[in-house]
Chains A and B, each alone.
Chain A
């Protein structure tokens, strides 16, 4: 490098918790733009597979066709394959009609109620042509009792539902049904400094009321030393309640809370379509691809003069 100002940084990720559906991690040494870009990509641009086309053969249920089709679309399907699948709009195997194995998965649903008890048609009744793409199963494998998947419609005696559905790859930007993320959020890591000198001027009762003023359990009082300690800085919601409280108690500056501009605590919750950890990785992958697209685009080269250093940075310099 030419020794000039460089924008390149090497963010660090520290995983705190990892389950199939939830991941919590820290993202450090980067700024809000990257963190938010990651969040946005996770919600809207990580592809999944979802039912997109429904051909209804028989529907004598109480719900109308569009309603059922809409419900089917919102059922999360396991989409580990989605990254390698093609978008049906640019699938050359099927001329874009979206019915080939590279870009689509076919589902069948046949249900008819034969007795007087109401029949629940659930996502379990959807038969997939591809065993890797099936409706997400939320039931606990240890307790197979009454967990029967996502209810699509309820049938009474004599009612019938028969349909063929085609699931395709898509992204959450196009329709929420393709979004793999139930929730993605991040917060700035708070830095809390208690002014111990000022704090000592408070009585225990005052300390107590001050600690209580935070709706979340950020501070506590040490039972031994009777000092106010920070128990969980991340529980702080930047609601400023404690600061306002300190001011109203006549002790401004009792506590200083700052958001660290370069550390973020992410919580990612998946719909089950892909594992939460995979969601993060996919998001990073897509983010990379997007940056590549920018870097390789001719416009970028042209705009180099304008961007100067930044342009070089984007090209990986």
Chain B
């Protein structure tokens, strides 16, 4: 693993990691918008007065095109970041107007500035190579996938959704609360239309044996008897319905393996049919009219249609919307009923909605699509209302038949707000929607893509959130790590604490299917489904003819393609069919897409409902595994599998063993590499397989808060805060992921010589000692770049433009050393706290105002960027400051093994222990107690390996689980040699890792175990035991004392209580709370307690009237102005204060008492409630 400079790193693996973001947006641009526009129904406006109709159709021609907004296109995205504006293009579409069925007239509308995802098809960086990217002031490895909104980079968070078009059986207590008679069982299907909007349909089971179909319209759930729907869908007879429902039960099979139906099904079928009869609905038309009658009020735009048309619209728009044929819907409903009954009869188990098996993901492009559709519909509806109002007003100037007049009215409903609504959604992550878009949450859809370091940035694109609604749940079930997510979600990379288990990260291998095929063409899903169907029929599937007598499990299995019942396969045949499908899946020359999910649920005794479920849809998780049965050449046998099918597959580990399955279930597939189950960040931990697992989790967290080399284009960025490590290094001990993902472009730490010993006592309790000289030579030096944006145009009132400008005051010369004549600071100038850094001149008041630095540390002006877009005078300025942040006591560091520590001393070099042989002094000392309980063996290995590696001048490969692949290498060498073989230090030598590393050291004359004899730096004598010492890659974490320390002697106090205020920013104190008080009490430290809580807080001397006991009625007596003789320039002697009690009208009983000021406040508050507090004073005891 030799790092060659000057070779452009292969960025493809990195691109692959965020492909799903870009592809989903690309689809929106390519096709999604077109489909949305087509699927929006036009609105009709009827002028009853002149009896004319207007049909307003929204239809696009050229939908979105990129328009340059007046700044040089060369560095557009960079400009957006600097100028704090959004990276957008204009969205234009044709709106058609049609009067009374005449020829439609197209009219172009500008729908405003639509946010554009970086590196998407609309972005100017789309096909830029690294060189071009650099010339455009971007990162050379820029991957895009995010939006720039107001200069901030935001990513759409991937959200878990229920798998589309798959009927899922569920048991939930809330179902039984729906209405009287409902049970907790239902079959739920989330149906997705072509335009990516979805409707969830639930089929509830009733206690009487019947079922209800529930779906939501405008925030209300409507429940229909299933029989009515069945009959309304197609012309059918009771007999047929009965036959279809009971097809899967025969008395013979009932006890057989895989039987799903019991005799009760027949009873239930009868009940369902009876229900319909009780409603005296017999024909399809009657059913339709029954439905239509109930739904007419809620269906927009169908007020004047007949009932059956309304009913048809309901069936079309709300029931099984992924299917467009009523026969197909009928078949699916029958299937769902069978599944429901099987669930009720406990012949199959409910599907787990928390399992990845039944989930897919919400992609940015899809979210925007559905949001945009709703906004467009809203716009049309508002337009309609405006026109209708105008007609009803019968205003003279309005001619309904005149396009310009109509347009003028429509202008009241600005079309530009469509894009700004989308922009706002991305800016805030909040959906402003009436319908809720069939999503579980309203907020939290986007997050800021922080560039704290590259790993954190990258993780934003790989993170998958379970949904905000689950965060509040008290149960931990949704957070559990389920075996179904193996290989798709990283078990290591999830945060600790509140979002634990809800915010997961995709593994490095995991991909998300998209609308694009491998060639980059948009897929024709219709055709793909047809192809699969004909393939299946060729393989022996029977097409469903609703009239035929059907057969169900265990003899026949239903086949569903994307929620469409396409037929059934004999259970004897199904294994072959599946094998056949898989074979064609991996082969290149078939029509079967390579990411088809072949969810074959086999017959079982009370397991999951059997069937063959095929999924072609986008937004599914997939990951590559090797098809062991496939006869194809090496590298050609990679199969993409999904979480649904994975559960029923036999996948072995690549260590060559059978994983204990013996011959019972021969493995059909094999993992490519065990590291595939880890996320990118988790893959960077060397030998993570030797660590205690929580330590790897901590490392994933800490890697993301490391102060690292965050950006190569740091000079052109205007982030609010950017951490930067001055002298980063690439780790000596590295995993293969470092090279694969080009992490060396953004290194995160330094190789420090670490000695493990208890020295001086300053390394207790996870503290660590840094060598002062090492720090002085540049170890872990760093800066924080902080940008202040000053925009004069949006300050204060917007009455007159350019009333403020940057200009230096000529009167006050004191600031001239800091501020140049243009009112801005000199670049390179150091600015201390409370120094001015820019000067603003107000023309109206003709006064100057300076902006002063806050905080407690001096900063250096790094860069001043001005916005010269709108000529003179200068209005917008970015000033970037540089905070030098070299290591000091209290800064936090960590190794890559979850071993964090705080620097407790910068210890002089000469006092550090040294090696007699090499003279080497450690850079860093940690305490040996950090190891026994944490068991981070990999850190010890890293130390030994890095020592050997640095002696040999070679990087050491520390890819976890390498040994379990190597073994297979010996057995079936040809299989794996194409794959990244462990290179570098760990050669092909068999044996233990430790032995290899030990030998490496011994070869170079060092101790086998990595220990060395050290001498005390203070005494020059040999330390009594040998010390474990070697280089370990250390990360500097962003938590620094300079940002956190809080001290106060005296300072601002609260207005009301006169107690010190809180908050570091305001120079407040640290709360001395109840528990602190308790501990002082326990120590009996009464004086200290009094000091903390009283003297240093709101000490107050109050005048109390001992006669009435009041502290509120006292007041100072106004002195008669007595001429006080001034003595020799001294200030006049303070006259003794005369205090009286208002209530007693005397000053006789006045005493002074020391008390907390809040006590006086309490007395005042009580007095406000008409409660008098009186103090009884006594002397002494």
Interface residues of A in 230-255 (CB under 8 A from B): 235, 237-241
Q: Which of B715, B773, B920, B1022 meets A238, CB within 8 Å?
A: B1022
Chain B positions 761 through 794: 1 when the CB is less than 8 Å from some CB of chain A, otherwise 0 = 0000000000011101110010100000000000
B777 engages A176 (CB within 8 Å)? yes
Chain A positions within 8 Å of B828 at CB level: 56, 59, 65
Residue pair B1021, A32 in contact (C-beta under 8 Å): yes
A35 to B915, CA, bound (A): 14
Tell whether, in the assembled complex, residue A237 and residue B1012 are in contact, meaning their CB atoms are under 8 Å apart. yes
Find the residue from B726, B914, B1012, B1020 having the highest chain A CB count within 10 A.
B1020
CB within 8 Å of B: which of A21-65? 32-33, 35-37, 39-40, 43-44, 56, 59, 62, 64-65
Contact with B along A62-101 (1 / 0, CB 8 A): 1011110010001000000000000000000000000000
Instruction: Digitize B378-413: 1 where CB-to-A-CB distance is under 8 Å, 0 elsewhere.
Output: 000000000000000000000000000000000000
Comparing A183-191, A193-201, A203-211, A273-281, the segment that makes contact with chain B is A183-191
Using A66-B884, A185-B917 as known contacts, say yes or no to A44 and B777 having CB atoms under 8 A apart: no
CA distance A267 to B915 in the complex (A): 12
B862 contacts A64, CB within 8 Å?
Answer: yes
A240 neighbours in B (Cβ, 8 Å): 1026
Cβ contacts under 8 Å, B910 to chain A: 39-40, 43-44, 172-173
Is B1008 close to A, CB under 8 A?
A: yes
- Residues in A with CB closer than 8 Å to B882 are 64, 66
Judge whether A179 and B773 touch: CB under 8 Å: yes
Flag whether A315 is at the interface (Cβ < 8 A).
no
CA gap between A56 and B1018 in the complex, in Å: 40
A259 within 8 A of B: yes
Q: CB of B990 within 8 A of chain A?
A: no
A65/B1019 in contact, CB under 8 A: no
> Is B778 in contact with A238, judged by CB distance below 8 angstroms?
no
Contact of B1020 among A36, A64, A70 (CB under 8 A): A36
Q: Do the beta carbons of A215 and B860 come within 8 Å of each other?
A: no
Contact A74 B777 (CB under 8 A): yes
B1008 (CB) vs chain A CBs: closest residue: A215
Q: Are A183 and B1019 in contact (CB under 8 A)?
A: no
**Structural contact, A259 and B1022, CB atoms closer than 8 A:** yes
With beta carbons under 8 angstroms apart, the residue of B918, B1001, B1019 that contacts A36 is B1019
Give a binary string over B985-1029; 1 marks a CB under 8 Å from any A CB, 0 the rest: 000000000000000011001111001110101111110001000
Distance (Å) between the CB of A41 and the closest chain B CB?
9
**Residues of A close to B914: CB separation below 8 A:** 185
Tell me if B908 is interfacial: C-beta within 8 Å of chain A. Answer: yes
Chain A residues whose C-beta falls within 8 Å of the C-beta of B1026 in the assembled complex = 239-240
**Closest Cβ of chain A: how far from B790's Cβ, in Å?**
22
In the assembled complex, the Cα of A74 lies from the Cα of B916 at a distance in Å of 25
Candidates B773, B916, B1021; contact of A176 at CB < 8 Å:
B773
Q: Does A175 interact with chain B (Cβ within 8 Å)?
A: yes
Which partner residue on chain A sits nearest B773 by CB separation?
A176
In angstroms, Cα B1007 to Cα A238, docked, is: 10
Supposing A43-B910, A216-B1005, A237-B1013 touch, asked if A187 and B917 sit within 8 A by C-beta, the answer is yes
Contacts of B316 in A (CB 8 A): none
CB distance from B724 to the nearest CB of A (A): 9
CB of B999, distance to nearest CB on chain A (Å):
10
Interface residues of A in 147-176 (CB under 8 A from B): 172-173, 175-176
User: Please, what's the 1-or-0 string for A1-38, where 1 marks a CB less than 8 Å from any CB in chain B?
Assistant: 00000000000000000000000000000001101110
Q: State A188–B1016 Cα separation when bound (angstroms).
A: 13
Known: A215-B1002, A239-B1007. Contact between A176 and B776, CB under 8 A?
yes
Among residues of A, the one whose C-beta sits closest to the C-beta of B726 is: A67
The verdict on B1132 contacting chain A, using a C-beta distance below 8 Å, is: no
Asked whether any CB of chain B lies closer than 8 Å to the CB of A269, the reply is yes
CA–CA, A151 to B490, complex, Å? Answer: 44
B919 at interface, CB cutoff 8 A: yes
- A32 adjacent to B1019 (CB under 8 Å): yes
Q: Report the minimal beta-carbon distance from A148 to chain B, rounded to whole angstroms.
A: 18
Query: CB distance B783 to A64 under 8 Å?
Result: yes
Whether B919 contacts A184 by the Cβ 8 Å rule is yes
Whether A175 contacts B917 by the Cβ 8 Å rule is no
B916-A66 in contact (CB<8A)? no
Give the number of residue pairs across the A-B interface with Cβ within 8 Å.
102
Partner of B773, one of A65, A70, A172: A172
B1151 in the interface (beta carbon within 8 A): no
**Interchain CA distance A47-B410 in the complex, whole Å:** 83
Which residues of the other chain, A, contact B915 by a CB distance below 8 angstroms?
185
Complex Cα distance, B1020 from A269, in Å, reads 18
Most buried by A among B860, B1006, B1015: B1015
Could you tell me how many residues of chain B have their Cβ less than 8 Å away from some Cβ of chain A? 42
A59 to B826, CA, bound (A): 13
Question: What separation, in Å, do the CA atoms of A36 and B1020 have in the docked complex?
Answer: 5
Tell me if B909 is interfacial: C-beta within 8 Å of chain A.
yes
**Does A175 contact B776, Cβ atoms closer than 8 Å?**
yes
Question: Known interface pairs A56-B828, A64-B862, A241-B1007. Does A267 touch B1019 (Cβ–Cβ under 8 Å)?
Answer: no
Provide the B712-730 mask, 1 if CB < 8 A to any CB of A, else 0.
0001000000000010000
Chain B residue at minimal CB-CB distance from A183: B919
B778 to chain A: which residues have CB within 8 Å?
70, 74
CA distance A215 to B828 in the complex (A): 54
Chain B residues in 8 Å Cβ range of A64: 783, 860, 862, 882
Shortest distance between the CB of B948 and any CB in chain A (Å): 12
B1019 neighbours in A (Cβ, 8 Å): 32-33, 36
Q: Quick check: B909 and A188 within 8 Å, CB to CB?
A: no
CA A127 to CA B282, docked complex, whole Å:
105
Closest to B882 in A: A64
Give the complex CA separation of A65 and B783 in angstroms: 12
Taking CB atoms, residues of chain A closer than 8 Å to B920 are 183
**Nearest residue, chain A, Cβ from B772:** A176
Given A215-B1007, A238-B1022; A267-B919 close (CB under 8 Å): yes
**How many Å from the CB of B135 to the closest CB on chain A?**
12
Q: In whole angstroms, what is the CA distance A72 to B583 when docked?
A: 65
Most chain B CB within a 10 A radius of its CB, from A32, A179, A215: A215
Report Cα–Cα, A268/B1018, bound state, in Å: 18
Chain A nearest CB, measured from B820 CB (Å): 16
A291 to B1017 alpha-carbon distance, docked (Å) = 20
- Alpha-carbon distance A70/B909, docked complex (angstroms): 19
Please state if A186 and B916 are interface contacts (CB–CB under 8 Å).
Answer: yes
Residue of B nearest to A57 (CB): B828
Contact between B909 and A172, CB atoms less than 8 A apart: yes
Determine whether the beta carbon of A179 is less than 8 Å from that of B909: yes
Q: Which residue of A lies closest to B1007 (CB)?
A: A239
Instruction: Kindly provide the distance from the CB of B1026 to the nearest chain A CB, expressed in whole angstroms.
Output: 7
Q: Quick one: closest A residue to B777, CB to CB? A: A176
B1013 surroundings in chain A (CB, below 8 A): 237-239
> Are B916 and A43 in contact, CB atoms less than 8 angstroms apart?
no
CA of A83 to CA of B620, assembled, Å: 74
Q: 11 more A-B contacts (CB under 8 A) besides A33-B1019, A43-B909, A238-B1022? A: A66-B783, A66-B882, A176-B774, A176-B777, A187-B917, A187-B1015, A215-B1006, A237-B1013, A239-B1012, A241-B1007, A241-B1008
Closest 8 A/B residue pairs (Cβ):
A36-B1020, A185-B919, A183-B919, A176-B773, A187-B916, A176-B776, A32-B1020, A40-B910
B positions within 8 Å CB-CB of A: 715, 726, 772-774, 776-778, 781, 783, 828, 860, 862, 882, 884, 908-910, 914-920, 1001-1002, 1005-1008, 1011-1013, 1015, 1017-1022, 1026
29 contacts between A and B (CB under 8 A): A32-B1019, A33-B1019, A33-B1020, A56-B828, A59-B828, A64-B860, A65-B828, A65-B860, A66-B882, A74-B777, A172-B909, A173-B908, A173-B910, A176-B776, A183-B920, A185-B915, A185-B917, A185-B919, A187-B916, A188-B916, A188-B1022, A215-B1007, A215-B1008, A235-B1005, A238-B916, A238-B1022, A239-B1012, A240-B1026, A241-B1008
A residues in contact (CB < 8 Å) with B: 32-33, 35-37, 39-40, 43-44, 56, 59, 62, 64-67, 70, 74, 172-173, 175-177, 179, 183-188, 215-217, 235, 237-241, 259, 267, 269
